[in-house]
Amino acid sequence: MSAARNLQKALRPLARQVASPAVQRRTFVAAAGAVRAAAVSRAAAPVAKQQTRGVKTIDFAGHKEDVYERADWPIEKLQDFFKNDTLALIGYGSQGHGQGLNLRDNGINVIIGVRKEGKSWKDAIQDGWVPGKNLFEVDEAISKGTIIMNLLSDAAQSETWPHIKPQITKGKTLYFSHGFSPVFKDLTKVEVPTDVDVILCAPKGSGRTVRSLFKEGRGINSSFAVYQDVTGKAKEKAIAMGVAIGSGYLYETTFEKEVYSDLYGERGCLMGGIHGMFLAQYEVLRERGHSPSEAFNETVEEATQSLYPLIGAYGMDWMFDACSTTARRGAIDWTPKFKDALKPVFNNLYDSVKDGSETKRSLEYNSQPDYREKYEKELEEIRNLEIWRAGKAVRALRPENTK
Ligand SMILES: NC(=O)c1ccc[n+]([C@@H]2O[C@H](COP(=O)([O-])OP(=O)(O)OC[C@H]3O[C@@H](n4cnc5c(N)ncnc54)[C@H](OP(=O)(O)O)[C@@H]3O)[C@@H](O)[C@H]2O)c1
């Protein structure tokens, strides 16, 4: 992307800030100038080279890794690769929906297998899957399939495995979108048959994003891995599957690394950790006499609406650069204090993932017959926290919500 376009894009949120006095932020006093300067200084940076399509070996901060991309799999090649296959996609939740529709739009022979009395059956019909044609009950779909995509919830994969395992016969391929079931087989009891290829493609995002990025013509980042290769073709099949379900770029990993990093990340910075940090900051502000709106704006609104998008687009240094000298000084000084305080927690978390404690907890909790009700109660508690009630009121004031 050219420096000019970078600058234009980076200034857009800032322009919005300036145009709206109600949300004008102290930290942005020097922002426009800083972004302009940063755009100029980055004009010569070699980052754009890494984005060139067709490049296979990419230098990630001094570590060379192979990255596989959709551009090497034109639709004709993809369809030819799967011309003798029937993909039986079992489970039609978040991932089933996204991956299934993308496969169908890519012209791959895909059928859905779900239980007839469940919500997913109705959802699949809504999405145009036709009973008896490409929508079946689980067993029938598996019997028709050559590649069995196990996209049941992780708890259900464990629960249904004694019934499903005998149906995964020689010649079929077993596909997962998470390393969870086979890696923690001592807990899940998902011991895969020894005579089939076992592969994984794990999109780095929700199934809804798998679908929306595909429709935008972009493609989600995914990791892929091979657990068991009996045909000698498992790796190529995993990459082809990744492209077929709608991935743009595919990063190679192992089942173990995928599941460890995934469980760790979602409990940490992606979800649990960030919520804990928001709550801690908000509570201190409230205890020190700040109003809910001030505490929310300073904790969540500015983060999600202004600063985090800049990190996503251009990196942390760029975001620091886009803020006032006062903000930058404090952020740089306080970073090591937060890192030192949090690193032991992250180490505990990684241990808890690796030793199976997180899996055990998840299986026990999510296998309870009333887990949905219990989970809904917990969500209700979060929804009712003052911080998120204040957030609702702040969001309601956004121009797009006041029309
Ligand atoms: N969601 C994500 O963001 C995401 C991202 C990457 C990878 N993954 C992985 O993708 C896989 C699928 O996840 P998901 O989030 O799409 O799952 P999900 O939304 O929880 O889907 C659950 C599916 O499992 C079915 N199911 C549940 N219990 C069942 C049972 N006892 N017997 C038969 N079917 C049952 C449900 O059918 P009914 O409607 O009939 O209950 C539904 O179709 C998991 O391995 C997950 O870790 C998920």
pLDDT digits (tens, 9 = 90+) for 258-304: 999 999 999 999 999 999 999 999 999 999 999 999 999 999 999 99
Q: From ligand 1's centre to the CA of 155, what distance in Å?
A: 8
pLDDT mean over 135-149: 98
Residue 315 confidence (pLDDT) above 90 = yes
Distance of alpha carbon 307 from the chain centroid = 20
| pLDDT in the model for residue 288 | 98
| pLDDT in the model for residue 185 | 97
Spot the catalytic one: 63, 97, 178, 275.
Answer: 178
Q: From ligand 1's centre to the CA of 81, what distance in Å?
A: 27
Looking at per-residue confidence, does 100 or 363 come out higher?
A: 100
Which residue's C-alpha comes closest to atom 30 of ligand 1?
156
- Ligand 1 site: residues with CB under 6 angstroms? 91-96, 114-115, 118-120, 151-154, 156, 159-160, 177-178, 180, 202-203, 206-207
User: Model-level pTM greater than 0.95?
Assistant: no
Q: From ligand 1's centre to the CA of 48, what distance in Å?
A: 37
Pocket test for ligand 1, best of 89, 90, 92, 95 (most atoms within 8 A of CB): 95
Active site annotation includes 97: no
Q: 21-73 pLDDT, tens per residue? A: 333 343 433 343 344 344 434 333 333 333 334 447 888 888 988 899 998 99
| pLDDT in the model for residue 4 | 36
| pLDDT in the model for residue 231 | 97
Positions at the binding site: 262, 266, 298, 302, 324
What is the position in ligand 1's atom list of the atom closest to the CA of 95? Answer: 16
Length, in residues, of the chain: 403
- Mean pLDDT over the full length of the chain: 88
Pocket test for ligand 1, best of 152, 154, 175 (most atoms within 8 A of CB): 152
